């Protein structure tokens, strides 16, 4: 059976993040990708200039079309900018008993542009987090979800991850990419304990779509039947290599994308 993963997120017109990054990641990792577009963004490596929200009924129609025909084994949820979109996705997930839900609570683009309406944060807490197998916030996103200061150090990261577990998710991968230590450390926290995932911190401005890529890589692993711990370790390794290869691409004039196909394009 061909592994299938679904991304529910926003479209990035420059191709580095959102739906486009998710589908590239699925393909690079040997998973067939389907998509539900929840918003259109006009953006490039320098920033976001406009957002067009997809109507809730059309989001629902996309979800029904995919699940009624495809055997979806994992779902990655990214940018949902409005409460109406979050509600439509929640109802769709319940309607089709979706499993292996990876929630990336996208709030701000790499460029610094806000992607989430202020009143949508509470809807994410109430509706999506309790349905997720794992959520993947970076340090600012975790702080925003908890109305707390940004964590500094692994002890504070773990404490915030445990607080997020109380919102109903089964696991939290709190990402340390915004830190300033020589290592980029993520912590996977669930009821069983803490798994520390460390990689060398790579100095590059080409990090557009890093969070999207990590969460979709986890979903790809889950779609292939990996357990969460293995899927997360493999996803961390993939993203680290994609960042390391990012400077071999020449894309745009701002924060360029990762190299999703670093393995496939090696001989070109």
Residue 20 vs residues 25, 167, 216: alpha-carbon distances, Å? 9, 29, 11
Q: Which of 210, 213, 232, 240 is catalytic?
A: 210
- CA–CA gap between residue 212 and residue 6 (Å, rounded): 13
Q: Is the pLDDT of residue 155 over 90?
A: yes
| Beta pairing, strands 4-12 & 74-77 | parallel
Tell me the mean pLDDT in the region 18-37. 98
Q: Which of 207, 213, 232, 240 is catalytic?
A: 207
Q: Residue 206: helix, strand or coil by DSSP?
A: coil
Which residue in 103, 161, 105 sits closest to 131, CA to CA?
103
Confidence class for position 110, pLDDT limits 50, 70, 90? low
Which domains, and CATH codes, for the chain?
4-248 (3.40.1190.20)
The answer for 168, left when phi > 0, alpha when psi is -120 to 50, beta otherwise, is left
* Per-residue confidence (pLDDT) for residue 188, from 0 to 100: 98
Does 43 or 112 have the greater pLDDT score?
A: 43
Q: Is the pLDDT of residue 112 over 60?
A: no
Q: Is the pLDDT of residue 113 over 70?
A: no
Q: Which of 10, 16, 90, 175 is catalytic?
A: 175
Residue 90 vs residues 55, 67, 120, 124, 175: alpha-carbon distances, Å? 15, 14, 13, 10, 24
Q: Which of 7, 15, 24, 212 is catalytic?
A: 212
Tell me the mean pLDDT in the region 119-137. 94
Tell me the mean pLDDT in the region 25-34. 98
Whether residue 181 lies in the annotated active site: no
Worst-scoring range by mean pLDDT, 36-45, 60-69, 101-110, 145-154? 101-110
Whether residue 175 lies in the annotated active site: yes
Q: What is the widest separation between alpha-carbon atoms in the chain?
A: 48
Tell me the mean pLDDT in the region 165-169. 97
* Per-residue confidence (pLDDT) for residue 178, from 0 to 100: 60
Whether residue 211 lies in the annotated active site: yes
Whether residue 207 lies in the annotated active site: yes
Tell me the mean pLDDT in the region 172-186. 82
Q: Which of 179, 209, 221, 256 is catalytic?
A: 209
- Cβ atoms of residues 130 and 168 within 8 Å: yes
* Per-residue confidence (pLDDT) for residue 108, from 0 to 100: 67
Q: Is the pLDDT of residue 35 over 90?
A: yes
Confidence class for position 14, pLDDT limits 50, 70, 90? very high
* Per-residue confidence (pLDDT) for residue 180, from 0 to 100: 65
CA quadruple 172, 256, 9, 62: dihedral sign:
negative
Which residue in 250, 245, 237 sits closest to 264, CA to CA?
245
* Per-residue confidence (pLDDT) for residue 33, from 0 to 100: 98
Chain position carrying tokens 């926290």 = 189
Tell me the mean pLDDT in the region 45-64. 95
* Strand blocks (E) in 71-227: 74-77, 101-103, 134-135, 171-174, 183-190, 193-200
Tell me the mean pLDDT in the region 178-206. 87
CB atoms within 10 A of CB 191: 7
| Beta pairing, strands 171-174 & 193-200 | unpaired
**Structure confidence by residue, pLDDT tens digits, 136-147:** 999 999 998 999
Q: Which of 15, 78, 176, 211 is catalytic?
A: 211
* Per-residue confidence (pLDDT) for residue 262, from 0 to 100: 93
Torsion angle of C-alpha atoms 87, 216, 242, 31, degrees rounded to 10? -140
């Amino acid at each position: 059976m061909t592994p299938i993963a679904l991304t529910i997120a926003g479209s990035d017109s420059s191709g580095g993040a959102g739906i486009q990054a998710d589908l590239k990641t699925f393909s690079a990792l040997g998973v067939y990708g389907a998509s539900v577009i929840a918003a259109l963004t006009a953006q490039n490596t320098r920033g976001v200039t406009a957002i067009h929200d997809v109507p809730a009924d059309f989001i629902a129609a996309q979800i029904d079309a995919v699940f009624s025909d495809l055997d979806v084994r994992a779902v990655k949820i990214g940018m949902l900018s409005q409460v109406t979109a979050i509600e439509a996705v929640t109802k769709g997930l319940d309607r089709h008993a979706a499993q292996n839900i990876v929630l990336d609570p996208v709030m701000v683009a790499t460029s610094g542009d806000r992607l989430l309406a202020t009143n949508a944060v509470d809807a994410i807490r109430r509706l999506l987090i309790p349905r997720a197998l794992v959520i993947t916030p970076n340090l600012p996103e975790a702080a925003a979800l908890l109305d707390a200061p940004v964590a500094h150090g692994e002890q504070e990261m773990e404490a915030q991850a445990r607080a997020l577990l109380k919102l109903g998710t089964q696991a939290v991968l709190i990402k340390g990419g915004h830190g300033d230590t020589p290592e980029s450390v993520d912590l996977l926290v669930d009821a069983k304990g803490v798994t520390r995932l460390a990689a060398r911190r790579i100095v590059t401005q080409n990090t557009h779509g890093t969070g999207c890529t990590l969460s979709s890589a986890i979903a790809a692993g889950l779609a292939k039947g990996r357990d969460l711990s293995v899927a997360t370790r493999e996803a961390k390794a993939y993203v680290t290599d994609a960042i390391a290869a990012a400077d071999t691409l020449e894309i745009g004039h701002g924060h360029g994308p990762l190299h999703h196909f670093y393995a496939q394009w090696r001989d070109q």
